[in-house]
Amino acid sequence: MSSLRAAARLRLAARLPAVRTSRPYSAAAAAKPSKPLSHAPFFSNEPAGPTIKTAIPGPMSQAAIEELDMSFDTRSLNMLANYEQSFGNYIKDLDGNVLLDVYAQIASIPVGYSNPALRAAASSEQMISALINRPALGNFPQHDWSDILCTGILTVAPKGLDQVFTAMAGSDANETAYKAAFMYRRQQERGGAHVEFSDAEIASSMINQAPGAPQLSILSFKTAFHGRLFGSLSTTRSKPIHKLDIPAFDWPQATFPLLKYPLHEFEAENAAAEAEALADVERLITTHHLPPCAVVVEPIQSEGGDNHASPAFFRGLRALTKKHNVLLIVDEVQTGVGATGKFWAHDHWNLETPPDMVTFSKKAQTAGYYFGNPDLRPNKPYRQFNTWMGDPARALLFRAIIKEIERLDLVTNTANVGEYLYAGLERLATQYPGEFQNLRGKGQGTFIAFDSPRRDEFLSKAKSVGVNIGGSGERAVRLRPMLIFQKHHADLLLEAVEKIVKS
């Protein structure tokens, strides 16, 4: 190590106590909910409750949607919103309707609409320069890029992971992680980073053939969702509509344990389902004709229907991947950044060794993957590279989000409010049998879901009682409030949900 490098490491270590020594959210802060539930709203400018003025979409929205549709596909449009007039947990549409938003841009708004602290960060000179002077980060990073990483993204790096590759969204976060996994595997097979590519590899790579383009795979799970580009879509198994007509790699999918609820009534069956799923993983790792170099898994399968598995299952998966020298990639695109009552959902697992890579996006408002093993940096430059490699403006925003989470102790808040909300839903489930099936997410913050016998009707009625809610899978209602969702919001939500099932 050069003296410069040694000095840099010292400076860095001084700056990164969170990463190197303790973990404020992951392990400590959220472990024991201690504070009482606050009744005081975090933000004074937040509406006191929903306002419904018209059917949704109202006339103003309808006209605007027709206009937008001229040039932009609006068939998946749910609501047209005015975000400059949306505050905190409330989303406002063009007809003056104000809804409590527990969908939050598909789980991607962390600290509320028009958050004042984010507004300050967005108005800063640093942000303006980042926006208008966007660098090619791999070639010409800005002078403060290390500082932006060390005071932002890396302060919340999962335990054991101190490197980051920045990306733009969940799909490319996962795909660049997959690329790292393939390169790592082939490097091992070649005998190390110092072994040069063979002529056959070089020549065949250019015609998309083995050995240069290797016959290897990424193993994912049934009902998983990992993105929609060609590599990530090959690992996505949630719904046919995402996959139809798109060529895919012949990669394997393992059974995901479909747990039965309530969990305490089906302990043995669920344990058996998890053992079976792990056996399926091992079978595919050892026998699939395209050997998996990595397993990718969501802590809670989100798009695919809010499917959970136990910490024991994930510990088993870590053990299996270690045993067979296969990497474990944890896709925290939807679960990450506090929603489960820990900063990263995989912190619930108490793993003995960390995952090899953890991908993030959504609530981080930027994307990428963390890793720890330096060998996951490819042996040569320009192998993992692209023009922008992320966006400093969005990295600055994530830093502001992290500070806001710290300031308001939002991971603790989410753990506590989640507990309260779950208890309320349990009461409703008893009161309205059949309307709240397979209630799940206990102890997982506000990352709560249940199946509804008439889900799409449920979601549509929710708007008329002032709440914006999303679904997942075929029949799940998924709750994805922001981290600033408080007890009084939970009360409003519970009341609205009761109205829906009673109607």
Q: Which of residues 46-105 bind its own copies (CB under 8 A)?
A: 62-64, 66-84, 86, 91, 94, 105
Which residue lies nearer to its own copies by CB, 5 or 264?
Answer: 5
Site for its own copies in 360-379 (CB under 8 A): 361-362, 365, 377
Residue 184 CB, shortest distance to its own copies, in Å, is 9
Residue 308 identity = H
Contact status: 115 vs its own copies (CB under 8 A): yes
Q: Tell me if the bond preceding 262 is cis, omega within 30° of 0.
A: yes
Q: Which stretch binds its own copies (CB under 8 A): 108-116, 306-314, 340-348, 491-499?
A: 108-116
CA distance 426 to 420: 10
Catalytic residue status for 362: yes
- Single out the catalytic residue among 331, 347, 356, 391: 331
Q: Where are the beta strands (DSSP E) in 238-354?
A: 253-254, 292-297, 327-331
Q: How far is the CB of 266 from its own copies (least distance, A)?
A: 26
289 binds its own copies (CB under 8 A): no
Among 224-232, 428-436, 444-452, 459-467, the segment contacting its own copies (CB under 8 A): 224-232
| 310 interacts with its own copies by CB under 8 A | no
Q: Which is nearer to its own copies, 384 or 437 (CB)?
A: 384
Helices 392-408 & 125-132 angle (0-180, nearest 10) = 150
**Residue 17 touches its own copies, criterion: CB under 8 A:** no
Contact (CB, 8 A) for 488 and 500: no
| 8 A C-beta contact, residue 167 and residue 390 | yes
- Torsion sign over Cα 377, 383, 384, 387: positive
Cβ neighbour number for residue 488 with a 10 Å cutoff: 17
| Of 22, 45, 51, 215, the one binding its own copies by CB under 8 A | 215
Assess 134 for contact with its own copies (CB under 8 A).
yes
Q: Is 183 among the residues that bind its own copies (CB under 8 A)?
A: yes
- One residue of 205, 310, 373, 437 binding its own copies per CB under 8 A: 205
Q: Is residue 287 a contact residue for its own copies (CB under 8 A)? A: no
Only one of the segments 174-182, 269-277, 440-448, 494-502 lies at the binding site for its own copies (rule: CB under 8 A); that segment is: 174-182
Torsion angle, CA of 312/351/302/503, rounded to 10 degrees? 60
Query: Where in 333-362 is the site for its own copies (CB under 8 A)?
Result: 361-362
The contacts of residue 28 (CB under 8 Å, 6+ apart) are: 22
Show the 3-state SS of 389-440. Answer: CCCHHHHHHHHHHHHHHHHHCHHHHHHHHHHHHHHHHHHHHHHCCCCCEEEE
Interface stretch with its own copies, choices 9-17, 47-55, 424-432, 443-451 (CB under 8 A): 9-17
Q: CA-CA distance, 18 to 141, in Å (whole number)?
A: 24
- Distance, in Å, from the CA atom of 263 to the CA atom of 261, rounded to the nearest integer, reads 5
* DSSP H or E run through 172: helix 170-190
The yes or no reply on residue 109 touching its own copies (CB under 8 A) is yes
Instruction: Kindly tell me which of 31 and 64 has the beta carbon lying closer to its own copies.
Output: 64
- Tokens (6 digits) for 369: 């993957």
Of the residues 36, 191, 240, 434, which one makes contact with its own copies according to CB under 8 A: 240
Catalytic residue among 51, 286, 353, 387: 387
Q: Which of 22, 28, 55, 119 binds its own copies (CB under 8 A)?
A: 119
| Residue 494 token pair | 């519970």
Contact of 103 with 115, CB cutoff 8 Å: no
Helix (H) or strand (E) holding 278: helix 267-287
Nearest residue to 294 (alpha-carbon basis) of 335, 322, 257: 322
Answer yes or no: 225 catalytic: yes
CB 375 within 8 A of CB 187: yes
Minimum CB–partner distance for residue 436 and its own copies (Å): 24
Contact between 230 and its own copies (CB under 8 A)? yes
Query: What CA–CA distances, in Å, run from 128 to 82, 131, 133, 167, 394?
Result: 23, 5, 8, 20, 11
Backbone region of residue 488 per phi and psi (left: phi > 0; alpha: psi in -120 to 50; beta: other values)? alpha
State yes or no: residue 165 binds its own copies (CB under 8 A): yes
* CB 368, min distance to its own copies, A: 10
Instruction: Specify the stretch interacting with its own copies by CB under 8 A; choose among 49-57, 166-174, 264-272, 309-317.
Output: 166-174
Q: Single out the segment in contact with its own copies by CB under 8 A; choices: 37-45, 48-56, 109-117, 450-458.
A: 109-117
Nearer to its own copies, 47 or 141 (CB): 141
φ, ψ at 330 (rounded to 5°)? -100, 115
In this chain, which of 97, 217, 302, 412 binds its own copies, going by CB under 8 A? 217
Q: Could you say whether residue 9 binds its own copies (CB under 8 A)?
A: yes
User: Scanning residues 262 to 281, which ones bind its own copies (CB under 8 A)?
Assistant: none
Q: Work out whether 403 is an interface residue with its own copies (CB under 8 A).
A: no
Catalytic entry in 92, 362, 363, 463? 362
State yes or no: residue 146 binds its own copies (CB under 8 A): yes
Nearer to its own copies, 63 or 263 (CB): 63
State the catalytic residue, choosing from 87, 225, 398, 485.
Answer: 225
Cα separation of the two ends of the chain: 69
Tell me whether residue 331 is one of the annotated catalytic residues: yes
Q: Which of the residues are catalytic?
A: 225, 331, 362, 387
